[in-house]
A = this chain, B = another copy of it.
Amino acid sequence: MRARSGRQRRALRPGTRRPGGRTARTRAAVRDAVLAGLTEHGYPGLTVEYVAEHSGVHKTTLYRRWKDVEGLVADALDLAGEDSWTPPDTGSLEGDLRALAHEVVASFTDPAVAASGSAMIAAGFQSERAAEALRAYYAERFTRCEALVERAAERGELAAPLDAGALVRSVSAPLFFRLFITREPVDLTLADQAVAATLAAARAGVFAGGDTVGATPDAGS
């Protein structure tokens, strides 16, 4: 959810000229204004006028290209998902999962990052398009994370085939649950407990039987 620099991974959308070009800069400025507005007023208080004023992009352009507030929020999330973030690669599954969990705690205990991330999650309750954009954002995020499960399987730390998606989500779930549902504090001790629980479950074969990592294709298929 943090604004990141770096190359864009996904195909560019219509209207985007090239990474770093004028249109990409416009899109990033609009995204920054959307995040600022969500942080300041929340989804219900966000207006196209606010985004125009804070991005320096004319209201007419915003309406033509993003249509409405829902479109602006959804595109800000799409853009957040187009960064060059890759999951940690520390050499062990435990190290990778711990780095991942610590990153969640660091993000959501940094007030500046937490506010826009939290506002995006809140938007998902009020707009079906924002919910759809969140779904796509996290699906992409966790697909990238499956790489660390693949590496663990290659090192022989885990027996394949594995439901890698469930394994990596299992590390984040207890943290997000406390942050946004039970409204309890999170810290690195809790992050480490989430990692230990996930590793114990993985070793006990709880995430076995998925078909995303290490599955052998059927003969003839």
Flag whether A11 is at the interface (Cβ < 8 A): no
Flag whether A170 is at the interface (Cβ < 8 A): yes
Check if B206 sits within 8 Å of A124, measured CB to CB: no
Flag whether A71 is at the interface (Cβ < 8 A): no
Bound CA–CA A176/B124 (angstroms):
14
Flag whether A169 is at the interface (Cβ < 8 A): yes
Check if A138 sits within 8 Å of B197, measured CB to CB: no
Cβ of A206: which chain B residues have Cβ within 8 Å of it?
A: 193, 196-197, 200
Q: Which of A14-22, A86-94, A95-103, A178-186 contacts B (4 or more CB under 8 A)?
A: A178-186
Copies of the polypeptide in the assembly: 2
Cβ of A203: which chain B residues have Cβ within 8 Å of it?
A: 200, 204
Least distance between A212 CB and chain B CB atoms (Å)? 14
Which of A131, A174, A177, A193 neighbours the largest number of chain B CB atoms within 10 Å of its CB?
A: A177
Cβ of A118: which chain B residues have Cβ within 8 Å of it?
A: 125
Chain B: CB-nearest residue to A178: B169
Check if A181 sits within 8 Å of B121, measured CB to CB: yes
Cβ of A12: which chain B residues have Cβ within 8 Å of it?
A: none
| Chain A contact residues, majority secondary structure | helix
Bound CA–CA A172/B182 (angstroms):
11
Bound CA–CA A66/B33 (angstroms):
36
Of B135, B198, B207, the residue contacting A182 (CB under 8 A) is B135
Flag whether A126 is at the interface (Cβ < 8 A): yes
Flag whether A69 is at the interface (Cβ < 8 A): no
Check if A180 sits within 8 Å of B126, measured CB to CB: no
Known: A121-B125, A125-B180, A172-B177. 13 other contacts (CB 8 A): A42-B44, A118-B125, A121-B181, A134-B182, A139-B182, A166-B190, A173-B173, A176-B176, A177-B177, A180-B181, A197-B206, A200-B200, A200-B203
